[in-house]
Structure 1
Amino acid sequence: MDRISFLDVTVAQEGSKQGPRRDIRLLNASYIKEFSFLGHGEDPLDLKKCYIDLNSLQTREELALRQAEAEAERIGVGVTSEAQSIFYALSKTLPVRWDKTVIVVMNEVRVSSPYVADSVYGGTPAANERVKKVLEFERKRLLARSS
């Protein structure tokens, strides 16, 4: 692995693959506590042969940002860890999202704190019943897991 350091970033080329494509990692140098120089490999980083596909990098960055934003939307703000666990459990079988501290299921049924069957309201009677059943099952599972 060859390294070139500049501006608190370390560039690492991994392995020696055939052809013009290489695996290159950009690392925040301030997180590196120590490293050992083992010597140059048979194929050192040749900047004349190295290229970076900026379009591919930008696409990967945009995808990573969208995934991070989607994951952040799945985290409730101002809710207990139990409420978050219930949200994750419901999300395995039903489409859910947060509306502040209320779990919105299937865009119609709402589950408010303390996130029990009596806290379920809205939606069609069938959807409401389905959410209550899933919620009761998940609460039993969480209770069994904690004891």
Structure 2
Amino acid sequence: MEEGSKPGSRRNIRFLKANYIKEFSFLGQADDPLDVKKCYIDLHSLQAREDLALRQAEAEAERIGVGVTAEAQSIFDALSKTLPVHWDKTVIVVMNEVRVSSPYLPECVSGGTPAANERVKKVLEFERKRLQARGASQ
């Protein structure tokens, strides 16, 4: 599918999987949109987009725990909505100081200032209640 097909305009080419197409209409024959003489590819822009996509993919991969349960990942995701978190193997590290170990209960919270420790415990308790309520309703 070609977008912006006025002569001299910037063009976007989009590739579609054929099994997603339900119907199409032939509108007529046009110039080859991939004519090398008329085509300009901004390699710097493409490289920047690729670099950004790779950085985003790496950041998302770091947020996925390895060797943890789905429940642990849900708790991590919930904590990450309000607090800075990262994984240290199977331990959730919150605010670079508070650690939450398996089985990720409030009594498994250690480290950090008393205020930070209490905050993490409260968020953890709330998230566990929410997970239990969601599990009971399914």
TM-score between the two structures when normalised by the length of structure 2: 0.85
After TM superposition, the runs of 4+ consecutive aligned structure 1 residues lying more than 2 A away are 15-20, 24-27, 31-44
- Structure 1 residues 120 and 131: alpha-carbon distance in aligned structure 2, compared to 1, 3 A threshold: same
Structure 2 unaligned spans of 5+ = none
- CA distances 1:23-66 after superposition (whole Å, capped 9, x unpaired): 02468xxx766988947543431331111100000000000000
Matched, 1:98 2:87: yes
The answer for the alignment partner of 2:37 in structure 1 is 48
Matched, 1:65 2:54: yes
SS of equivalent residue, structure 1 residue 92: helix
SS of equivalent residue, structure 1 residue 97: strand
Matched, 1:109 2:102: no
Q: Give the superposition deviation at 1:20.
A: 3.5
The answer for the alignment partner of 2:3 in structure 1 is 15
SS of equivalent residue, structure 2 residue 38: coil
Q: Tell me the matched-pair count.
A: 132
Name the Cα RMSD after superposition.
Answer: 2.2
Structure 1 unaligned spans of 5+ = 2-13
Percent same amino acid among aligned pairs?
73
- Structure 1 residues 57 and 139: alpha-carbon distance in aligned structure 2, compared to 1, 3 A threshold: same
The answer for the alignment partner of 1:7 in structure 2 is none
Tell me the amino acid that sits aligned with residue 48 of structure 1: K
Paired with 2:130 and 2:84, the residues of 1 have a C-alpha distance of: 20
